A and B are shown apart, each in its own frame.
Chain A
Amino acid sequence: MSVVKASHVYKVFGKRQNEVVKRLEEGADRNDLTKLGMAAVIDASFEVEAGEIFVVMGLSGSGKSTLIRTLNGLWSTTSGSVEVLGTDLAKADASTVRKVRSKHVSMVFQHFALLPHRTVRENAAYSLEIQGMSKAKRLAKADEWLKTVGLDGWGDKYPQQLSGGMQQRVGLARALAAETDILLMDEAFSALDPLIRREMQEQLVELQSRLNKTIIFITHDLNEAMFLGDRIAVMRDGRIVQIGTAEEILTEPADDYIAEFVQDVDRTRVLTASSIMRQTKAFINVDSGPRLAMKTLEENNSSGLLVLDDDRTVLGLVSDRTVVTAAREGHRTLRDIVEKTDLYSVSPETPISELFAPSSTAKVPLTVVDENNRLLGIVPRVALLNSMADPGPATGEIPAVKEELEPLVVSPTAGENDSQDGAAFANEYDLPSESVSSNESVSSADAVEAGDDAERRGL
C-alpha cells in the first residue's frame, strides 16, 4: 500500500501561478515563463510504499526541497494532489493538516532547526508537547529516544553545546519521538562533515532496520542517495527525470543528464554481485563420474568445475588434476573428491566493493548463491575489473592493467580518451586480463568461464 502518493504535483511561485501550470502542461519550458512565475516543481508523480526509504535527489534549484514541503503541507500545491495515508492535503482544512503533521509525518531539517533556548531533552520532547503529552511523560520519553540515537546523558545540555552531528541526532530523536509512520528528511546530513555524515547514514540504516518507517530523504549527494535509497527519484529543473533503484539508475540512466551525473559515483558501493555475475557452464552434478567431468572440462576449456547437487546447491569444486587422478583410481562419482577450501560464496546483494578482497586471494571465481546456497552465477576476476573500467580512464584502473600488457596494442594517448573509448578498451582487455590473473596462480581454476590456456587443454 502506498503511504504517500503524489500525482501531477505542480508548485509555482509568483503572481500568475495557474497560467504557468497551464503553459507547462502545454509543453512550455519553465525558463520561458519566469515573468509569469517560477515553477519549482513540475508534474511530479510518485508513490512511496510503507517501510521504504525513498530518496529524492537533485542539485540545488531542482525543486526537491519544495517537493518535500508539499508532502506535509508546508507548501500547498498549485495543481495536483498529495495524499498522505489517504488524506488529500489540498482538500483538508488547517486543523486536519496540523493533525496529519503531528501524528503521521515528522521532519528532520538540514540545519537541525532546534530551539536554542531549550535543553536537548526539551527539544526532543517538542513533538510530543504538540501532541499534548504531559510534561513528565514526554520528557521521560524524550530520554528514551535520545538513548536510541546515542545521546544518553546529554539531555540537560543546550543545542549549542553539541557538535553538528549530535545536534542532528537531537533532530532525529525529536522526529522519531513523534512516532509517526512517515519521516521526511530534508538534506538532513548535508550540513555535516563527511565522516560524521557517513556515520549518520549508517545509523539511519540501522535504525530503519529496527523501526521500519517510511522515509522520504532529500539529498544532493548521489553517493548518499545510492547508499540509503531503496528507490531514488532524480529531479532536474523541477521535474522528476527518473525513478528507480540505485542499480537501475546506474546501469540504465534515463537520459544523458543522469548518465553524466552518475559517472562519478563510487559504483563499487552501489553495484552488487548480481549485476556483474555471469552464467557458467563449467559445473557438474556431484553424482557424475570423473570421465564426464573431464569431458566437461574440455568443452569449457577450463581447469576446474563447480560441483552441484540436484537442486543446484553448491557443494564445492573439483580441479582438473583431481579429476584425472580420480579417473585413474576408478572413482564412480565426484562425491569423494569435492574440495571446499578454495570456494568463496557471496549473496547477490553483496556490493562490489566487498568482492575485491576475496577475489584477489581466491583461486577460482567467486560463486554467487541465493539464501539456500543454490548457484546463481559466478563473478570471475575479469568481470570485477570490467565493472571498474566502465566509468572510463579517469578511475585509474585502466592504466594499471595496461602496464602489464605492454605488447598489446595500446596507443600512448589512451588515457586521454573519453569514457566511451575507455570502455571499448576495457572490453578488448577482457581476455588478456584473464590470462594475467591465471598466470599468477598456476593450479587455479580461474578459467572456468573463458580460459584458453593451451597447456591445460592438453590435459
Chain B
Amino acid sequence: MDFMNPRLPLGTWVSDFLDWFTATFQWLLDFITLILGGLYDILNLAFSTPIYLVMIVILAVVAYFAAGWKVALFTLIGFYVVRALDQWANTMSTLALVIVAVIVALIIAIPLGILAAKISWVSAVVKPILDFMQSMPALAYLVPAILMFGIGQTPGAIATIIFALPPGVRLTELAIRQVNSEVVEAGQAFGATSGHILTKIQIPLAMTTIMAGINQVIMLALSMVVLAGMVGAGGLGGAVVGGISSLDVPLAVEAGLSVVVVAIFLDRVTAALGQRTPIERARKAAAASS
C-alpha cells in the first residue's frame, strides 16, 4: 500500500464479511424474515380487511380513549382524506410496518436501556454503538439489509428497527437513572429484592420518560419507513419513491400528505399515553386538589 496515497479497502472487507455472514447464517436470516414478514402480513391483513370506514372508526376510538375528542376528530377527518387521496392501502401497509418495527425495537431497546442503567459496563459498551447507529446515514443501512434479506418488507423493517432503536435505549437508561436514589434506597432499606424495586419503583417512576422514548422511536420509525420504500417495502414510502423517480408530483404530494396524517395520529396518541402513567395520574390528582 502506498503510504502517501492510502486506500483502505474497508468497504470490500465489510462486503466480504456480509457475504460470509449471509452464507453461514442463512438459517438465522430466514428465521428473522419469517418472523418480521409474518408479523407484517398479519397486521397488514388485519388493517386492510375491514372496509375503510370501520377502520377509521376503530382508529378514532383508539385516539379518543388515549388522547381525547380533539385527536379523535382529527383522526376521523385525516384518515378520510387519506382515503380520498387514494392512499388507503399504502397507509395501512405503512402503519403495519411501523408497528412491527416499533414492537421489535422496543423489545430490544427497553431491556437494553434498563441493563445499561443498572450495569455501568453495559452502558459503556452500548453508548458508542448507539452513536454509530444514529450518525450513520440511514440510507447506508439499506444496502447491507438488501444484501442479507433481499428486496421486500424485511430489509425495510430491519433498517427501520436499527434506525429507530437508539432513542429508546437512551431514554430508558436516562429514565431509570433519574429515579430518585433515596426512593430506591428506601426500597432496599425495607428489604425489597432488586426485581421488586425495578418493577414497583423504578419503572413506574421512569414511565413518563420511557414513554417519551417510545414516542421518539415511533416517529423515527415512521420517517425511516418512508426511506424503506426504496428497498421495495411498498406502502407510502414506495409511493413517495415512485413519485420521485417518475417526477409524478401529484402522487408524491398525496403520499407525503398521508405520511403526515399517520405521523400526527401516532405522535398524539403515544404522547397522550405518556400522560396516563401512574406517576402522572398522582401528579394530576395533586394538582387538581391544590
Contacts and interface: CB of A to CB of B under 8 A. Distances in A.
Interface of A: 72, 74, 98-103, 105-107, 109-111, 113-118, 126-127, 130-131, 157-161, 174, 178, 184
A184 B277 CA distance: 32
Interface string B261-290: 000000000000000011101110110011
A99 B192 CA distance: 9
Contact of A74 (B189, B201, B283, B285): B189
A269 to B, nearest CB: 31
B190 interface: yes
B246 interface: no
A117 B205 contact: yes
Contacts of B260: none
19 contacts: A74-B185, A98-B192, A100-B191, A102-B191, A103-B191, A106-B190, A107-B189, A107-B190, A109-B186, A111-B180, A115-B205, A116-B205, A117-B204, A117-B281, A118-B282, A130-B190, A158-B282, A160-B282, A174-B190
A158 B285 contact: yes
A111 B182 contact: yes
Nearest to B189: A107
Contacts of B283: 116, 158, 160
A127 B190 contact: yes
Contacts of B188: 74, 101
Contacts of A111: 180, 182
Contacts of A103: 191
A103 B189 CA distance: 11
A113 to B, nearest CB: 4
Contacts of A157: 289
A115 to B, nearest CB: 6
Contact of B183 (A113, A130, A160): A113
B286 A101 contact: no
Given A158-B282, A158-B285, A160-B282, A102 B190 contact: yes
B193 interface: yes
B196 interface: yes
Contacts of A161: 285-286, 289-290
B182 A110 contact: yes
Closest 8 CB pairs of A and B: A102-B191, A101-B191, A113-B186, A160-B286, A117-B278, A107-B189, A117-B279, A113-B182
B143 to A, nearest CB: 46
Which of under 10, 10 to 19, 20 to 34, or 35 or more describes the interface residues of B?
20 to 34
A115 B184 CA distance: 9
Interface of A, helix, strand, loop or mixed by DSSP? mixed
Contacts of B279: 116-117
B193 A101 contact: no
Nearest to B280: A117
A126 B186 CA distance: 10
A130 B282 contact: no
A297 B168 CA distance: 92
A72 B186 CA distance: 11
Contact of B186 (A107, A117, A158): A107
B31 to A, nearest CB: 38
Given A74-B188, A117-B279, 13 more contacts: A101-B190, A107-B190, A110-B182, A113-B180, A113-B182, A113-B185, A115-B186, A115-B204, A116-B279, A116-B283, A117-B204, A117-B277, A161-B290
B196 A115 contact: no
Interface of B, helix, strand, loop or mixed by DSSP? helix
A105 B186 CA distance: 12
Contact of A106 (B183, B189, B192): B189
B282 A114 contact: no
B201 to A, nearest CB: 6
A115 B201 contact: yes
Interface in B178-226: 180, 182-183, 185-193, 196, 201, 204-205
A278 B188 CA distance: 52
B96 to A, nearest CB: 34
Nearest to B281: A117
Contacts of A116: 205, 279, 282-283
Interface centre among A74, A103, A115, A130 (most CB of B within 10 A): A115
B135 to A, nearest CB: 34
A326 B185 CA distance: 75
Nearest to B204: A117
A390 B285 CA distance: 55
Interface centre among A105, A111, A116 (most CB of B within 10 A): A116
B115 to A, nearest CB: 19
Nearest to B197: A130
Nearest to A98: B191
A422 B196 CA distance: 60
Contacts of A158: 282-283, 285-286
A114 B281 contact: no
Interface string B156-192: 0000000000000000000000001011011111111
B289 A72 contact: no
Nearest to A105: B189
Nearest to B278: A117
A99 B188 CA distance: 11
Nearest to A175: B190
A109 B182 contact: yes
Given A118-B282, A158-B282, A161-B289, A101 B189 contact: yes
B189 A72 contact: yes
Nearest to A94: B193
Contact of A130 (B180, B192, B204): B192
Contacts of A178: 190
Nearest to A128: B190
A75 to B, nearest CB: 10
Interface in B79-103: none
A335 B147 CA distance: 118
Nearest to A131: B191
Contacts of B192: 98, 130
Contacts of B285: 158, 161
B276 to A, nearest CB: 12
A114 B189 contact: no
A129 to B, nearest CB: 8
B185 A109 contact: yes
A391 B242 CA distance: 91
Contacts of A115: 183, 186, 201, 204-205
A99 B286 contact: no
Contact of B191 (A109, A114, A130, A160): A130
B191 A117 contact: no
B212 to A, nearest CB: 17
Contacts of A98: 191-193
Contacts of A113: 180, 182-183, 185-186
Given A98-B191, A101-B189, A114 B286 contact: no
A246 B187 CA distance: 33
